[in-house]
Amino acid sequence: MEINLISDTVTRPTKEMLAAMMHAKVGDDVFGDDPTVNELQVKVATMFGMEAALFFPSGTMANQVAIKLHTQPGDKMYCDKYAHVYNFEGGGAAFNSGVTCSLLNGKRGMFTAMQLKQALTDKGNIHLPYSSLVCIENTTNKGGGACWDFEELKKIKHVCEENELKYHLDGARLFNALVAKNESPKQYGALFDTISICLSKGLGAPVGSVLMGSKLDMQKASRIRKLFGGGMRQAGYLAAAAIYALDNNVERLVQDHEKAKDLAAVLTECDFVKHVEPVETNIVIFTIQDDIDNDFFIAKMKEKNIFFIGMGEGKLRMVTHLDYTDEMHQKCIDILRGF
């Protein structure tokens, strides 16, 4: 039995999801004619109370199109030093949009409105890159699945409004935060200019992300998506999986969160473990004692059929998900305890 905790992206579609895909009505989405893609877009926009939504092949592309949408080459965007848009999108902000990132020194991927305020530079000074965008991530990936305090997000919004900055949410795992904190999609829809969500993470679809925002912004985003090569044809087969995921796999995220908390508790008791980050959702980040090499530890666990990865800076990460069963969970706990 292979226990894969590398990411919540490793899930495979269930029979029921595959059936939904097989029966999807499709058309050419580049012409706006795919009824299932249209259904998904309306469903997501309505859920978040936003005007419009667009289906994307990946979360990276959804974020990159949002950055392009909100900036001009030479501009500056603000994000946490752990941000996916900065660390894990291949330098896309610079490559695709010619944008500089100003990194904020947050905690677990989350900065404060005060930190943002202090980092802001004068838009009138021609020496300085022009500030145009703030991007936050909820839950934070490299921050260990941490959830933002909604009040802080509102304060950041206020800073954005005062300084004419656009506000983008990388919500690859937003549903984990919504479930963990009992928040509603509409709260978020009311706060941000654009939001990206992933269906291919904890929700278990094989492919797909959605970007949402105003109708005008999504018209522009549609053009940029085409420019970036992300216009898809009979994408309804994929949108059907996304619709199935939204209808069936949101509430069950609590189970992933419980399992992650169990793993954190077990790791905390292991003497080879140095530190375990607090767990709020489905990501466990931990470090091991200095005299054990990370790659050696990963390889040893691999021999026991447990797969996970490092996140840089000595951090190791385990992610729970839909395909991580109760049986695997028990086995994983036993192996960790016996290591």
* Binding site residues, ligand PLP, CB under 6 A: 58-60, 63, 84, 137, 141, 170, 172, 198, 200-201, 209
* Sign for the pseudo-dihedral over CA of 120, 64, 239, 307: negative
Residue 269: other Cβ atoms inside 10 A: 10
User: d(Cα 273, Cα 54) in Å, to the nearest integer?
Assistant: 43
* Cβ closest to ligand PLP, residue 136 vs residue 328: 136
Residue 23 beta carbon to ligand PLP: minimum distance, rounded to whole angstroms:
25
Tokens of 179: 């479930």
Shortest Å, Cβ 200 to ligand PLP: 6
* CA distances for 229 relative to 30, 58, 104, 226, angstroms: 11, 12, 31, 5
Contact assessment for residue 61 and residue 198, using Cβ atoms and an 8 Å cutoff: no
CB of 6 to ligand PLP, least distance (A): 12
- Tell me the C-alpha distance between 62 and 49, whole Å: 19
Cα atoms found within 13 Å of the Cα of residue 102, Cβ hemisphere only: 20
Q: Which is nearer to ligand PLP, 170 or 280 (CB)?
A: 170
Q: Which is nearer to ligand PLP, 79 or 243 (CB)?
A: 79
* Residue number closest to ligand PLP, CB atom: 59
Q: DSSP states of 185-243 as a string?
A: HHHHHTT-SEEEEESSSTT--SS-EEEEE-HHHHHHHHHHHHHTT---SSTHHHHHHHH
Nearer of residues 60 and 249 to ligand PLP, judged by Cβ: 60
Indicate the residue among 173 and 329 with the shorter CB distance to ligand PLP: 173
Q: How far is the CB of 320 from ligand PLP (least distance, A)?
A: 14
| Nearest distance from C-beta of residue 204 to ligand PLP, angstroms | 13
CB 5 → ligand PLP: shortest distance, Å?
Answer: 15
Closer residue to ligand PLP in complex, CB, 245/273 = 245
